[in-house]
Every structure is written in structure tokens, then in C-alpha cells.
Amino acid sequence: MKLFIILLLTAGSLSASDAWQRFSPIQAEDSWTSIDKWSHFSFSAILTVHNYYYFKEYTRFSPNKNRNLSVGISLSMGLSKEVLDFQARKSIFSWKDLSFDLAGTVAGIILLEYMEKK
């Protein structure tokens, strides 16, 4: 909750025009086919699978809780990366990157479902 409040206050300190340009869903320089998108997809998928098996091995959580924690961590990492890029002004906040983070997380869950059924 504290992190959310800090992020909210930090984002609020930006000028409206600057924030609009960097958060705008129309981002011409952010290609759907860049190598960066593959990095987001693969990192999220690997992180989801890794965390699931980590929790399975080292905790006594249920499989559903392991999966939910893994998804939460994976998506949080992707969102955190975009917020850091946005705050450091080295990049824009990329909705496309977030969509590939989500797709990678879903692919990781599908892979887990397949592996756990065997």
C-alpha cells in the first residue's frame, strides 16, 4: 500500500503535458516487433514458472496459492520496470511492453498446467 501511495504521489508531480506524452497509448517509437517485446515475454514466462516451483519446493502453500503468487510477482516486476523507466525519463511508459509481460505470464501458467498434469 505504501508503494502504491508513493507511486501515486510521484506520478502526480509530473506536469500534465509531459505525463500525457509519455503515457499516451499512441507511441510511434514503440514497435510491436522489437526485440524488447520478446525479452518482456520470455522474462515473464520464465519468472512465473520459476517462482511457482520455488514456492512449491520451499513452502507449504497450495498449488493455487503458488500460482497466484507467481503471477503477482511476474506482473509486478513488469509494471515496476515500466514505472522505473517512466520516472528515470530514459524511456516511455510502454503499454505494449506490459501487454507482452501479461502474455508471457499467461504462457508461463499454460506451461505450468501442462507440466503439472504429466
Residue 63 domain-assigned (yes or no): yes
Residue 8 domain-assigned (yes or no): no
Residue with more model confidence, 64 or 19? 64
Residue 61 domain-assigned (yes or no): yes
Residue 76 domain-assigned (yes or no): yes
Residue 27 domain-assigned (yes or no): no
Residue 5 domain-assigned (yes or no): no
Span 33-62, pLDDT tens digits: 888 899 999 999 999 999 999 999 999 999
Q: How confident is the model at residue 3 (pLDDT cuts 50, 70, 90)?
A: very low
Domain that holds residue 54: 36-117
Sign of CA dihedral 19, 22, 23, 25: positive
Span 87-117, pLDDT tens digits: 886 677 888 999 999 999 999 999 999 998 8
pTM of the model: 0.73
Residue 87 domain-assigned (yes or no): yes
Q: How many domains does the chain have?
A: 1
> What average pLDDT score do residues 25-40 get?
77
